[in-house]
Structure 1
Amino acid sequence: MSAPPSLSELQSGFARAMIDGAAPALLPWIDARGIAPAARLQIYRNAILATQVASLVTSFPAVERMLGTDCFDGWATRYAAWHGSRSGNLQNLGDDFADYLQAQPELSGLAWLGELTRLDWLRQRTILAADAEPLDAAALAAALRVAGDDPALHLLPCVHAMAAPFPLLDLWRYCESPETSHVNLEGGAQGVLLWREDGQVAMQSCTPAGVAFVAALKQGARVSVALAAAQALDAGAGIAALLGPVLTHALIHHVPPSLTPAENPA
């Protein structure tokens, strides 16, 4: 028998076995004690996969309800085995679960699946976003007075938005309460605005133009640029309607002051 592996080699071999499901170089150094070495490694790997699947169930509740428990568990297990956890935090595990599901030929007939999966994931990002205090009405008014005619409105970290070519929020709510809700997937495009309120994810429908407006603000754009992004989708989108949800739910965290001529690099 060759020289025994170092501790580092044992650890890396075990990690590969948990990811790939096989580590033939490691097997001679595992004491069977009534269980074959390969079977012993598989026990650990199954336990890790089960933990990852449970995490995905928590992150994607609407998708699990639509696919059914057995179907979801099957795809989640395949994804966990293929993707693996790339960080020590299992809450990051589903970062490309939507893309994975959309790439599966067996699921190609479920046109709603990718967007519903992304909405579940945005809810995860919303609940885990950093804390920040919103500007109250007086503070916002004061900030706007020194922000110039075209301010940048920095939204709370928990604010997100997305749009889909079907009534996405209606579908999510149907997943929550199929007995009392109804959804017509032919009902046209719908946007969803998400934020955190009292420790819970809040959502409301909005237009795709509203999603473009919020997305531009999230990227640091000034109001004029965000308005242009919205009006590229809907020429009739007005600033009052676009700002309405942002102001109603106090989603603005900071308004930077306008640059003075000496500070302006232009």
Structure 2
Amino acid sequence: MPADVKLAGLQRDFAAFLLRGDPAVAAALRPDLPAGRLAVYRNTVMGSLAAVLGHAYPTLCRALGEECFTTLACRFAAEAPPRLPMLWSYGAGFADWLDDCSLTEGLPPWVPDLARLDWAMHEALFAADAEPLDLARLAAIPPEQAGSLRLVPHPSLQLVRSGWTIHALWKDGGTVPLPVQEAVLVGRSPVDEDGCSGGGEVRCARLTAADGALACRLLAGATLDEAAGDETAAGADLQSLLALLLQNRLIAGFALDRPPSVTRPAVIRPEGIDP
């Protein structure tokens, strides 16, 4: 057997042992070593991957407890090891995995959604940056064309919709989630040139189910009129949602279905909303 083929096989077997810990594989790799000697390497690898997931899912780790979270994280790492040489990107499929994993039987049903909120905040932290929308450009849009606006969201902006009050659990820690539909808007505030306090911070804001449906349509590219006319967004507050997005500088631009006219401009004055 060529040396490179033999080496590749050895590497595959060693990787398989690190992920699954099969004693038979360990014995085949180094029959001369005492049982358990190779387990040192496996413990290091699995512990490191569990720690990476713990940093990406801090709220879930806190809610479940470190021991329970580590058990789930190690199982996930064994079934879905990293595929890219960038550990900050590892763990994207954890929430979907939690939906299907047999180990989650007996765990609260809100666990996967809380994981999605954690991951949305994690992705927002590492998302590309973009200049926020200049409000003067928005104010120059004629009133009759305002409904044709399509928003261009900041790259960090994400929406997590849930059937549980996961925002309260993220915010208050010990709060028990209730079976109430809501949405959580997640985004990273731009960093100003003067490095003002709060720049680059990932924030999240709770939305009602109706406002979440409205935000979902807007972020998917619907015009303001299309989003507001959606039946699922009945009762939503478009003005407040736009104020929230603009105040937190989470809109990077806009597009118009129709070319702008020369009539008098609309003036949009967002009211302050604490996210």
Partner residue of 1:122 out of 116, 120, 123: 120
Quick one: distance in 1 between partners of 2:29 and 2:232?
63
Aligned equivalents of 1:77 and 1:158: distance in 2? 28
Equivalent of 1:81 in 59, 78, 83: 78
Deviations 1:40-85 (A, max 9, x none): 5433332221111000110111111111111111111111112111
CA deviation profile, 1:184-205 (whole Å, cap 9, x unmatched): 5337332211111212211111
Equivalent AA in structure 1 for residue 156 of structure 2: C
1:112-135 Cα shifts (integer Å, max 9, x gaps): 212111111111111111111101
CA contact (8 A) 1:49 1:80 kept: yes
Query: Which ranges of structure 1 fall in alignment gaps of 5 or more residues?
Result: 261-266
Q: Which amino acid aligns with 1:222?
A: T
Does the alignment pair 1:18 with 2:18? yes
Secondary structure of the residue that 1:76 maps to in structure 2?
helix
Write the distance in 1 (CA, Å) between the matches of 2:37 and 2:131.
50
Structure 2 counterpart of 1:222: 223
**Sequence identity of aligned pairs in percent?**
30
Return closer, same or farther for 1:26/1:164 CA change in 2, 3 Å cut-off: closer
Q: Is residue 100 of structure 1 aligned with residue 91 of structure 2?
A: no
- Counterpart for residue 201 of structure 2: 200
Q: Is the 8 A contact 2:210 2:234 kept in 1?
A: no
Aligned residues: 247
Question: Which runs of at least 4 in structure 1 moved beyond 6 Å after TM superposition?
Answer: 23-29
Q: Which amino acid aligns with 2:42?
A: R
Answering whether residue 64 of structure 2 is matched by residue 63 of structure 1, we say: no
In the superposition, relative to structure 1, how do residues 242 and 97 fare at CA in structure 2: closer, same or farther (>3 Å)?
Answer: same
User: Unaligned 5+ residue runs, structure 2?
Assistant: 190-198, 260-275
Contact 2:17 2:25 in 1 (8 A): no
TM-score of the superposed pair, with normalisation by structure 2? 0.76
- My pick for the range that moved more, 233-242 or 59-68, is 233-242
The aligned runs of 1:1-266 (5 Å cut-off) are 5-22=5-22, 32=32, 35-36=33-34, 39=36, 41-103=38-100, 104=102, 106-142=104-140, 144=141, 148-149=145-146, 150-175=148-173, 178=174, 183=175, 185-186=177-178, 188-197=180-189, 198-229=199-230, 232-258=231-257
